[in-house]
């Protein structure tokens, strides 16, 4: 009996929702707890006791002012940069290892002769099946590919045969088809790289990874796919890219209208989740203005219809904003928006027109209740 009492007391004291209500914090569920007390008059004494404890425990521990915290955080980031500069000098030629197809074959032959007794056809077969890079290279034979390892501690830029380039993050590697005049410009990435692709619609550029495939005509974008990680992602900087699940990408000629393919544009990202084996389209955490002309960046509104405001935001960030025309028809905004991050701008606008929003599938959906 005593025991359950303590449990009941604990479950109130340490209940976040109850605590918010007691302390009158924002977002407290006032209605719930008031009706809970009305419905359970026998719990009044317990609630009172819990309240005393909460008051007693609610000590303002702010021992560090926000500016002190900021300084300390800046010091950490500064130290990190210093450390990296000291430890990670630019990648040297020795750290950048090119292996052309023939060399790879020699290695393979050497290894095969040593382990000849152990390697059976069965192992080879299953090995190939579980080896996404192996199956990538099987298409043309290993001699047709060049592999570049970045064994250095800094990022480095690798030039590709067609004038495109890839910034290869430390520890990553790429394998590319030597002959970029073939129908497709094909690359396999392990790790993380930023691709800057020369436009050539006649020869689509395809980046393969363990789980996803990215196909572009000419754009710049990030691809991340670490073997140890359970996911992968693509972030577009300029242009438009199409992302497929590797298992669905049976043929290099597949285009964006293939089932399950995701098209993304700047400020959007596709994240691959291995557990769910799903491609998820989303907005990057910190969208940036994609329009260069500074004249268009100003966002000073004076009783401007909110539809115009949304249109302007769409232009600036290239992120589509979906709303019900009727619901926002009479809404207007007076505000000056400048340097705030994208989501802060949305917060300000939606608060002003009594609306909420949600990011769904790479777009913003605004739920408006209407204005008078």
Partner 1 sequence: MGFNHLPKDDLLLWKRFRTGDKEAYAQLVSRHYSNLYNYGSRFTTDEAFLKDCMQEMFLNLWKNRFTINETPVVNYYLLKSLRRKIRLEGDRNKKSAARAFNFFQAGEEMEQSIETALILQEDGAEKIKRIRQLITRLSKRQQEVIYLRFYSDAGISEIAEIMHINQQSVYNLLHDALKQLRRFSAETNNVALQESLLILLPLLPQIFLKISEKIQ
By C-alpha distance, which of 171, 201, 211, 172 is closest to 189? Answer: 172
Regarding 169 and contact with partner 1 (CB under 8 A), the answer is yes
Nearest-approach distance from CB 77 to partner 1, in angstroms: 6
- Residue number with CB closer to partner 1 (57 or 278): 57
Distance (Å, whole) CA 363 – CA 346: 13
* Location of structure tokens 């606008």: 349
Binding track, positions 102-141, relative to partner 1; x by CB under 8 A: ----------------------------------------
Distance (Å, whole) CA 189 – CA 224: 8
- Residue number with CB closer to partner 1 (44 or 334): 44
Residue 271's CB: how many other CB atoms inside 10 A?
18
Stretch that binds partner 1, among 3-11, 123-131, 304-312, 340-348 (CB under 8 A): 3-11
Regarding 321 and contact with partner 1 (CB under 8 A), the answer is no
- For residue 237, what are its two tokens? 């900087």
Regarding 8 and contact with partner 1 (CB under 8 A), the answer is no
Nearest-approach distance from CB 248 to partner 1, in angstroms: 23
Binding track, positions 13-32, relative to partner 1; x by CB under 8 A: xx-x--x---xxx-------
Distance (Å, whole) CA 204 – CA 167: 19
Nearest-approach distance from CB 170 to partner 1, in angstroms: 8
Regarding 185 and contact with partner 1 (CB under 8 A), the answer is no
Nearest-approach distance from CB 143 to partner 1, in angstroms: 32
Helix (H, G, I), strand (E, B) or coil at 150: strand
Nearest-approach distance from CB 33 to partner 1, in angstroms: 15
Using CB under 8 A, pick the residue from 231, 239, 305, 370 that binds partner 1.
231
- For residue 355, what are its two tokens? 């609306």
* Location of structure tokens 């993304």: 264
Nearest-approach distance from CB 171 to partner 1, in angstroms: 7
**CA 258 to each of CA 136, 250, 289: distance values in angstroms, whole numbers, following the listed order:** 20, 11, 30
By C-alpha distance, which of 288, 279, 367 is closest to 331? Answer: 367
């Amino acid at each position: 009996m005593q025991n359950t009492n303590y449990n009941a007391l604990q479950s109130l004291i340490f209940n976040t929702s109850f605590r918010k209500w007691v302390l009158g914090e924002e977002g407290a569920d006032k209605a719930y707890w008031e009706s809970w007390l009305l419905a359970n008059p026998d719990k009044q004494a317990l609630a009172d006791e819990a309240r005393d404890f909460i008051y007693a425990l609610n000590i303002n521990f702010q021992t560090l002012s926000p500016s002190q915290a900021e300084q300390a955080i800046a010091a950490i980031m500064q130290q990190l940069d210093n450390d990296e500069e000291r430890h990670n000098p630019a990648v040297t030629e020795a750290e950048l290892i090119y292996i052309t197809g023939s060399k790879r074959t020699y290695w393979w032959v050497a290894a095969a002769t040593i382990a000849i007794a152990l390697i059976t056809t069965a192992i080879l077969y299953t090995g190939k099946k579980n080896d996404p890079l192996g199956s990538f290279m099987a298409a043309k034979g290993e001699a047709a590919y060049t592999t570049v390892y970045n064994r250095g501690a800094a990022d480095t830029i690798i030039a590709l045969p067609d004038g495109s380039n890839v910034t290869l993050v430390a520890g990553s590697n790429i394998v590319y088809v030597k002959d970029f005049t073939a129908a497709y410009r094909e690359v396999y990435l392990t790790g993380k790289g930023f691709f800057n692709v020369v436009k050539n619609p006649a020869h689509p550029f395809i980046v393969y990874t363990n789980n996803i495939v990215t196909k572009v005509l000419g754009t710049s974008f990030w691809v991340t796919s670490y073997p140890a990680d359970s996911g992968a992602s693509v972030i577009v900087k300029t242009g438009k890219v199409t992302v497929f699940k590797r298992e669905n990408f049976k043929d290099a000629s597949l285009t964006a209208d293939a089932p399950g393919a995701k098209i993304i544009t700047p400020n959007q990202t596709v994240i691959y989740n291995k557990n769910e084996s799903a491609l998820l389209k989303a907005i990057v955490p910190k969208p940036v203005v994609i329009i260069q002309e500074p004249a268009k960046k100003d966002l000073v509104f004076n009783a401007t219809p909110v539809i115009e405001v949304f249109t302007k935001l769409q232009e600036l960030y290239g992120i589509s904003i979906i709303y019900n025309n009727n619901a926002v028809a009479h809404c207007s905004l007076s505000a000056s928006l400048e340097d705030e991050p994208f989501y802060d701008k949305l917060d300000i606008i939606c608060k002003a027109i009594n609306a909420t929003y949600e990011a769904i599938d790479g777009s913003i959906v605004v739920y408006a209740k209407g204005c008078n």
